Amino acid sequence: MLKQSKLILLLSLCATAAIAGCGQSNNTSTETGGNASQPSASTSASPEVKEPVEITFYYPVNVGGPLTKVIDSMASTFMDQHPDIKVKPVYTGNYGDNTVKIQAGVQAKQPPDVAVMMSTELYSMLDMNAIIPLDDFIAKDADIKMDDFYPAFIEDTQSEGKTYSLPFQRSTIVMYYNKEMFKAAGLDPEKPPTTWDELVTYAKQLNKDGHAGLEIPGNDDSYWMFQMLARQHAADPKQNIMSSDGKKAMFDTPENVEALQFWLDLSRKNKAMPEGVIDWATVPTDFIEGKTAMMMHTSGNLTNVRNNAKFEFGVAFPPADKQFGSPTGGGNLYIFKDRSPEKQAAAFEFAKYMTAPEQAALFSSSSGYVGVRKSAYDTDAMKKYTADFPQALVARDQLEYAFRELSTHNHGKVSTAITNQIQAALAGQIDAAGALKKAQEEADQALAPFNK
């Protein structure tokens, strides 16, 4: 009996020690990591073999298709060219999951070194004190050439004169349409609708034979689609639904109410679209399966549609009312605080590589995301790709009319406020004016602490 009790005590002590040990070994490993990198920095000029700097890279994938393979292979080519840097790419799910993982990491003081996050997370990351500005790196680096990036994408990397991220996985909203259905409905397949009026007429005409004329997704980020309609309808061509410093939302203007009303009318009045909230993820499937003749969706789905649609399809600007317009979307590469300077420098090197013209061209042609730099379109690979598949140029050409996605302080609350109210309006629970008024109130409340 005595023996047994001693044994068990011993065992439980071991268990305790093991748990305590976990924490300790963690500490020591970060310490040695810091120590190891310091001497390597001071001796960086010497040619002797040194430990490669290891960096972690988080990225989400939000569209159909095997994009993880593309990104992993880009990372491994980078390592071939930079033997002194080791990149560990981590696929983290969709943008939402990705943000949660990064946020948890930031709180535990173990963020990734570099990550793709929504461009709209900028203010949240700043408020959490989680990211570093890249201006010093950019100033020191002659290769980066910031003016080669499209200005529409640079817009949301900046705040108060500092640049916090590099555009990477970027998109705009485009309109996909089924050319065969256009023919069957007696429409010219080379002439997609270019105005709201045409959109309504065409969609009504296409809404038959068991398929819808048009689908606009309304769950998740419905504010994105709403932003597009609001801009297209705005008298001032620079009007957005929030201020450029992210401290004010402008949801319930009369113009915005009309824009939302137009969206509601597409289904309720004009019977061109299924009623209610249409799911983001099923819209491309519906299009590919011939359940809808036109869809508004991210250009990021281009390759998915191209590979799976068994019919000829066209891509066009979403039709204009007072002007064309689409918010940009997608993610940028951010570099995090609380990491050693060596890791941050390596992370910048990696981010620079991922956005270089050849990689931007490769990433764009394998996904449908827009090449983030002008020179990406001058590469041979891109020229060949777009000659074959001119639809891929639409999203780029649209950048002229593109503008910043809803991005504010307290972004979660503000975007949820508007998303919920749009959903309620689409579901017929509230009218357009009431929905935007409520969204405005909630947004004002969420932004109040930032306007003190």
d(C-alpha 49, C-alpha 290), whole Å: 58
| Nearest to another protein of 253, 282 (CB atom) | 282
Tell me if 179 sits within 8 A of 313, measured CB to CB.
yes
Give the shortest CB-95-to-another protein separation in angstroms. 11
Nearest to 203 by CA among 271, 265, 290, 262: 271
| Nearest to another protein of 23, 47 (CB atom) | 23
Give the shortest CB-324-to-another protein separation in angstroms. 29
Nearest to 269 by CA among 433, 432, 436: 432
Residue corresponding to tokens 């990433």: 363
Contact region with another protein (CB under 8 A), list: 33-41, 225-233, 272-280, 326-334: 272-280
User: Binder to another protein among 31, 289, 378, 388 (CB under 8 A)?
Assistant: 289
Residue 143: count of CB within 10 angstroms of its CB: 8
Applying CB under 8 A, does 4 fall inside the site for another protein? yes
| Nearest to another protein of 211, 322 (CB atom) | 211
d(C-alpha 98, C-alpha 113), whole Å: 14
Residues 6+ apart with CB under 8 A from 373: 148, 149, 150, 355, 356, 357, 360
Total residues at interface with another protein (CB under 8 A) = 48
Applying CB under 8 A, does 73 fall inside the site for another protein? no
Give the shortest CB-16-to-another protein separation in angstroms. 7
Applying CB under 8 A, does 274 fall inside the site for another protein? yes
| Nearest to another protein of 87, 288 (CB atom) | 288
Give the shortest CB-232-to-another protein separation in angstroms. 24
| Nearest to another protein of 249, 399 (CB atom) | 249
User: Binder to another protein among 296, 410, 418, 443 (CB under 8 A)?
Assistant: 410
Q: Which of residues 127-166 bind another protein (CB under 8 A)?
A: 127-129
Give the shortest CB-154-to-another protein separation in angstroms. 24
Residue 258: count of CB within 10 angstroms of its CB: 17
Applying CB under 8 A, does 277 fall inside the site for another protein? yes
Applying CB under 8 A, does 424 fall inside the site for another protein? yes
Residues 6+ apart with CB under 8 A from 430: 421, 424, 438
Site string for another protein, 211-230 (x = CB under 8 A): -------xxx----------
Q: For the residues of 411-448, what is the DSSP string, one character each?
A: HHHHHHHHHHHHHHHHTTSS-HHHHHHHHHHHHHHHHG
d(C-alpha 60, C-alpha 96), whole Å: 9
Q: Which of residues 9-28 bind another protein (CB under 8 A)?
A: 9, 11-12, 15-16, 19
User: Binder to another protein among 44, 100, 147, 237 (CB under 8 A)?
Assistant: 100
d(C-alpha 278, C-alpha 272), whole Å: 13
The dihedrals phi and psi of 153, each to the nearest 5 degrees, come to -85, -25
Tell me if 261 sits within 8 A of 425, measured CB to CB.
no
Contact region with another protein (CB under 8 A), list: 65-73, 172-180, 189-197, 276-284: 276-284
Site string for another protein, 101-130 (x = CB under 8 A): --xx-------------------x--xxx-
| Nearest to another protein of 91, 450 (CB atom) | 450
Give the shortest CB-278-to-another protein separation in angstroms. 7
Q: Is 362 helix (H, G, I), strand (E, B) or coil?
A: helix
Residues 6+ apart with CB under 8 A from 441: none
Applying CB under 8 A, does 50 fall inside the site for another protein? no
Residues 6+ apart with CB under 8 A from 240: 227, 231, 250, 403, 404
Nearest to 372 by CA among 44, 153, 53, 139: 153
Q: Is 285 helix (H, G, I), strand (E, B) or coil?
A: helix
CA angle 429, 432, 433 (to 5 degrees): 115
Residue 109: count of CB within 10 angstroms of its CB: 10
Applying CB under 8 A, does 178 fall inside the site for another protein? no
Sign of CA dihedral 115, 121, 126, 129: negative
Contact region with another protein (CB under 8 A), list: 141-149, 340-348, 352-360, 415-423: 415-423
Give the shortest CB-17-to-another protein separation in angstroms. 11
Applying CB under 8 A, does 278 fall inside the site for another protein? yes
d(C-alpha 153, C-alpha 404), whole Å: 8
| Nearest to another protein of 15, 90 (CB atom) | 15
- Residues making contact with another protein (CB under 8 A): 1-2, 4-5, 8-9, 11-12, 15-16, 19, 96, 99-100, 103-104, 124, 127-129, 218-220, 274, 276-279, 282, 285-286, 289, 291, 409-410, 412-413, 416, 419-421, 423-424, 426-427, 429, 449-450
